[in-house]
Each structure stands twice: as C-alpha cells, then as structure tokens.
Amino acid sequence: MSSPQERAERPGPPPLAGPALLERAVGYTRTSLQLLEFADLTASTPCAEWDLLTLLRHMDDSLAAFTEAAEIGYVDLLPVRTGETAADAAQQVVDRLRRRASAVLGAWAHRPGTRAVRVSDRQMRSDLIAAAGALEIAVHGWDVARACGVDRPLPAALALELLDVVPFLVSDADRPRRFADPVDVPQHARPGIRLLAAVGRRSLA
C-alpha cells in the first residue's frame, strides 16, 4: 500500500469517521488471522513477490505506524526491527499482529476528529490517516485469507465506504510500484469486488 508520507498533502474528502472504519477493518482482518494456525507462511499472496510471512511482517510495520500516528501525532516511516530468528519468526509475527490490532484500536479511540498528524516533514488529517489504515488492514486481511486458500468477501458496507476514499489515498503515481493497475469489473459487481479491483486485486467472483 502507499506510504503515509506519499498520502500526505493530497486533497481530502469531507470529515470521515476514520476510527470507526478502522475498527471494522480490524474486526474483519482478525478473523483472517485465525487462519494462520496451520498456514504455510511460504505461500504466495495476492501481493506481487511477497510470500505470506513477508506480508505479515509488512502488516506488523503498518499497524505499528498507524498506532504511533494516533498516540503521538507523528509517523516514523522506518520498519520495525525485531531480531527474530527464522525458526521462531512465524509465531512471533502472528502474536505481534494480534497485539497490535488491539493497540491500534485503543490508540485511535482517543484521537477523534481531523487534527493533523505529522508524516515525516508533512502533515495529514488524522481521520484520513485512520481511513488509510482501514483500507490497508482490510485489503491485507483479504490477502491473508487468499494466501491461506480461503475466500473471505469484504463486508459490503465497509467496502462501500472505503471505495469513497480510495481516490484520496491512491494516485496514478502509486501505480504500478505500490498498487497494480485497477482491474476491470462490472459496475454492478459486489462492493468488495469493486474495492479489491480498485487496488489491483483479482477476486474469485
């Protein structure tokens, strides 16, 4: 997904219920994380060139950054460093993801409104950062499920709201480096399918 820095200073939509979107996205993705107990973490994912463990590490970094944004009003773009070994990396990253999912919700519960969050040397509305987190968490929750061989459609209401903010979070400059090109789907397709298509994912239906 695009970095918080690259999202900063783009024109924004009207005020959003960003923390509420984030809560719903985390709720969806937590169920996908339950599939990891017997998953092959070397399995390929819908994210080009990433296996499942690489995707989980990316999600770990992202959740840490979105939590930091709410807690201190600043995003450090450096990835999390853990020093884990190959033997215990899988369980450690899964355990961290579950903890971070709770932490990000707790942090955003205390940061409502549209106050600015500093992203490196720029600023971005806090509600839009929360919405960006919701988009990233929801789509990667779908990615995790697909890597585990399960099709978990995105909830329609959540997908519709995220579709409204995609134009403010994803620009042509993000493609094809951070997002694949949009996938053509019928206008009457389910909202979840249209959301996935908007960020370059090919769903099963």
CA dihedral over 112, 143, 47, 200, signed as positive or negative: negative
User: Does a structural domain hold residue 177?
Assistant: no
What's residue 1's pLDDT?
47
Query: Position of tokens 């720029």?
Result: 122
List phi, psi (to 5°) of 150. Answer: -120, 135
| Residue 88 per-residue DSSP state | H
Does residue 111 lie within any of the structural domains? yes
Cβ count within 10 A of residue 74: 12
Region 92-113 average pLDDT: 86
The confidence score (pLDDT) of residue 80 equals 57
CB-CB contact of 34 with 71 (8 Å): no
Q: Is residue 202 part of a domain?
A: no
Report the CATH number at residue 113: 1.20.120.450
Does residue 181 lie within any of the structural domains? no
Let me know if residue 164 belongs to a domain. Answer: no
Q: What are phi and psi of 125, to 5 degrees?
A: -60, 135
pLDDT of residue 81: 53
Q: 3-state DSSP call for residue 44? A: strand
Amino acid at 197: A
Contact between residue 62 and residue 137 where contact means Cβ atoms under 8 Å apart: yes
Look at residue 145 and tell me if it is in a domain. Answer: yes
Query: pLDDT grade, residue 179 (50/70/90)?
Result: confident
- Read off the pLDDT of residues 20-79 as tens digits, 9 standing for 90 and up: 999 999 999 999 999 998 899 999 999 878 999 999 999 999 999 999 899 888 877 666
Determine contact, residues 77/4, Cβ cutoff 8 Å.
yes
Closest to 171 measured CA to CA, from 5, 55, 47, 23: 5
Beta bridge partners of 150: none
How many structural domains does the chain have? 1
Question: Would you say residue 96 lies in a domain?
Answer: yes
Residue 11's pLDDT band, with cuts at 50, 70 and 90, is low
Look at 82-86, 89-93, 189-193, 201-205 and tell me which has the smallest mean pLDDT: 82-86
In a domain, 180, yes or no: no
Q: Which domain holds residue 107?
A: 4-155
Spatial contact of 78 and 4, defined as CB atoms under 8 Å apart = no
105-156 confidence digits (pLDDT tens): 999 987 766 688 887 777 888 888 999 999 999 999 999 999 999 999 999 9
- Residues 46 and 148: beta-carbon distance below 8 Å: no
The alpha carbon torsion through 166, 22, 4, 143 (nearest 10 deg) reads: -70
